[in-house]
């Protein structure tokens, strides 16, 4: 088992440096109400040397596939090959309310999005004719997508943040890892089973696929109080009760 640390934009560099010193494997930057992921990871890339860096997760409706690929290539270069691209389709409120992007057919959109990103990260020009994405746009004679950032290290691994059975299976099929942002401990085994089904569909074993559940931790002198907070937190993740505000 390897350990990762979730960063807030407040004190991100200091926490990542401490985690690196303690031997943590990866530092993850979320994206949502408080900050974007790329800005935090750019800062942390410049302050660390060994720890892997990951977005957990960049919101798919917030960026075109081209910008996601360019951002990933930039962070991979800045970090010397330590970046992991975590992507998530988010939810209808964020997709439609924040970005004005329809949430319909999220799995099909995610599949096309990841395919474009992976192609772009090879450094080759990309033309794409999908149901949801077309590059260049239909009827346009514009130049194809072309990311020419100098590569650093191995290809950028792509992770998906997934919750439902279909999205978990898709992660197993098309991604290199899973980020279980909203997975309670009791749900991890079931989630991995869906991932394994997706791997089998793609003709790939589960071995080599990175399973990264994000598990909350409560720290305090009152053990019973900490346990109660964690129970409330995971009850909320499972759809029961209100959120524990100190975890958000």
pLDDT tens string 225-246: 888 887 776 665 555 555 444 4
Count: domains in the chain: 2
Burial class of residue 213 in the structure, from the number of CB atoms within 10 Å of its CB (0-12 exposed, 13-18 middle, 19+ buried): middle
Pair 213, 96 in one domain: yes
Pair 178, 231 in one domain: no
pLDDT in tens, 105-126: 999 999 999 999 999 999 999 9
Alpha carbon separation from 152 to 10, 55, 75, 80, 148 (Å, rounded) = 28, 18, 10, 6, 12
Q: Residue 240's domain spans which residues?
A: 219-248
CATH code, domain carrying 151: 3.20.20.30
Q: How far apart are CA 169 and CA 162, in angstroms?
A: 9
Pair 238, 125 in one domain: no
Pair 182, 193 in one domain: yes
pTM of the entire predicted model: 0.90
Please choose, from the candidates 14, 9, 75, 3, the residue with its C-alpha nearest in 3D space to the C-alpha of residue 48: 14
């Amino acid at each position: 088992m390897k350990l990762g640390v979730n960063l807030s934009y407040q004190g991100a560099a200091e926490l990542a440096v401490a985690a690196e010193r303690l031997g943590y494997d990866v530092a993850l930057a979320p994206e949502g109400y408080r900050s974007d992921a790329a800005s935090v990871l750019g800062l942390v890339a410049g302050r660390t040397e060994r720890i892997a860096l990951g977005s957990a997760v960049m919101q798919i409706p917030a960026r075109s596939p081209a910008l996601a690929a360019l951002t990933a290539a930039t962070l991979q270069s800045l970090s010397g090959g330590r970046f992991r691209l975590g992507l998530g389709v988010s939810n209808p409120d964020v997709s439609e309310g924040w970005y004005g992007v329809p949430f319909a057919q999220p799995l099909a959109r995610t599949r096309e999005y990841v395919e474009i990103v992976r192609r772009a990260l090879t450094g080759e020009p990309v033309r794409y004719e999908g149901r949801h994405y077309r590059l260049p746009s239909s009827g346009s004679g514009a130049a194809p997508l072309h990311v020419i950032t100098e590569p650093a290290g191995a290809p950028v691994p792509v992770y998906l943040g997934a919750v439902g059975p279909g999205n978990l299976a898709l992660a197993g099929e098309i991604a290199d890892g899973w980020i279980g942002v909203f997975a309670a401990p009791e749900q991890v085994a079931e989630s991995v089973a869906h991932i394994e089904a997706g791997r089998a569909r793609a003709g790939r074993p589960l071995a080599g696929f990175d399973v990264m559940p994000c598990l909350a931790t409560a720290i305090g002198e009152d053990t019973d109080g900490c346990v109660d907070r964690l129970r409330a937190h995971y009850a909320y993740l499972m759809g029961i009760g209100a959120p524990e505000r100190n975890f958000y």
